[in-house]
C-alpha cells in the first residue's frame, strides 16, 4: 500500500467509536511500522493560556493565548503535538510531513508560540491517534475511513467545524448523505 503520510482520514458515518466518530485525522507518519496522526476537528475547552500555565511557560499577552488546544486522539493524551506550517529543521523533535507542514513535539516550539515567535499557522493537540502495523489498512478494507490527500488550507484556514466537510468535498462527497450502514462490494 502507498504511504498515507500527508493524507486525511475521514471517519465514515457508521463509525461509532467515541474516540473517532465524526473526526478528521491528519496522518503525519505511515510506514511498515504503523501510523501516527492527529485529530484536527475537535477543539477542547483548554486554551493555550491554560496550557502555558500548566507547564509554567511565561506567555506574552495577545490573542494567541485564547486559541483552543485540540483533542488530538486517544493515545499519549499527556503529550503535546504541534502541527504547523514550515520546516521541521527549525525545531527540536520535529518531522517533516509535507513540503510546508511539519509536526513538532518539543517544548521549544511551545515556548516560541508563547513568546509570539512561533510559526504563523499551527494547531496544538494533546494526544494523537496511532495504529500498529497493518491495523489502519485493515480498517480501510472494512470501510471505516475515507482518505484524501492532505491540504494545508483545510488544516490552517478552515474553522474546525468545517474541516471534515471540506476534506470530503475534495472527493466530491457529502458525508451527510451517506448511509450509516457499512457494505462491501
Is residue 2 included in any domain, yes or no?
A: no
Alpha carbons 73 and 50: distance in angstroms, whole number: 19
Return per-residue pLDDT of the chain as tens, 185 residues. Answer: 689 999 999 999 888 899 999 999 999 999 999 999 999 999 999 999 999 999 999 999 999 999 999 999 999 999 999 999 998 888 989 999 999 999 999 899 999 999 999 999 999 999 999 999 999 999 999 999 999 999 999 999 999 999 999 999 999 988 877 655 544 44
Is residue 165 included in any domain, yes or no?
A: yes
Q: pTM of the prediction?
A: 0.93
- Show the cell assigned to 44: 477542547
CATH number at residue 14: 3.40.1740.10
Phi-psi region of 115 (alpha: psi -120 to 50; beta: other; left: phi over 0): alpha
Is residue 183 included in any domain, yes or no?
A: no
Q: Provide CB contacts within 8 A for 27, sequence distance 6+.
A: 4, 5, 6, 7, 8, 9, 35, 36, 37, 150
Is residue 182 included in any domain, yes or no?
A: no
Is residue 154 included in any domain, yes or no?
A: yes
Is residue 185 included in any domain, yes or no?
A: no
Structural domain that includes position 34 = 7-177
Is residue 96 included in any domain, yes or no?
A: yes
Is residue 184 included in any domain, yes or no?
A: no
How many other C-beta atoms can be found within 10 angstroms of the C-beta atom of residue 31? Answer: 11
Domain count, the chain: 1
The bridge status of strand 145-149 relative to strand 43-47 is: unpaired
Q: What is the pLDDT of residue 144?
A: 92
CB 48 within 8 A of CB 57: no
Alpha carbons 48 and 38: distance in angstroms, whole number: 17
Amino acid at each position: 500500500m502507498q504511504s498515507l503520510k500527508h493524507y486525511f482520514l475521514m471517519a465514515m458515518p457508521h463509525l461509532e467509536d467515541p474516540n473517532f466518530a465524526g473526526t478528521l485525522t491528519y496522518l503525519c507518519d505511515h510506514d511498515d511500522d504503523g501510523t501516527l496522526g492527529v485529530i484536527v476537528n475537535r477543539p477542547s475547552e483548554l486554551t493555550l493560556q491554560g496550557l502555558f500555565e500548566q507547564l509554567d511557560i511565561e506567555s506574552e499577552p495577545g490573542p494567541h493565548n485564547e486559541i483552543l488546544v485540540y483533542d488530538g486522539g486517544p493515545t499519549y493524551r499527556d503529550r503535546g503535538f504541534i502541527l504547523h506550517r514550515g520546516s521541521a529543521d527549525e525545531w527540536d523533535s520535529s518531522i517533516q510531513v509535507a513540503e510546508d507542514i511539519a509536526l513538532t513535539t518539543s517544548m521549544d516550539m511551545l515556548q516560541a508560540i508563547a513568546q509570539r515567535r512561533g510559526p504563523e499557522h499551527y494547531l496544538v493537540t494533546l494526544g494523537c491517534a496511532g495504529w500498529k502495523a497493518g491495523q489502519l489498512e485493515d480498517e480501510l478494507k472494512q470501510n471505516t475511513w475515507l482518505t484524501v490527500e492532505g491540504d494545508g488550507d483545510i488544516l490552517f484556514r478552515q474553522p474546525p467545524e468545517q474541516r471534515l466537510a471540506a476534506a470530503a468535498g475534495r472527493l466530491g462527497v457529502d458525508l451527510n448523505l451517506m448511509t450509516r450502514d457499512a457494505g462491501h462490494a
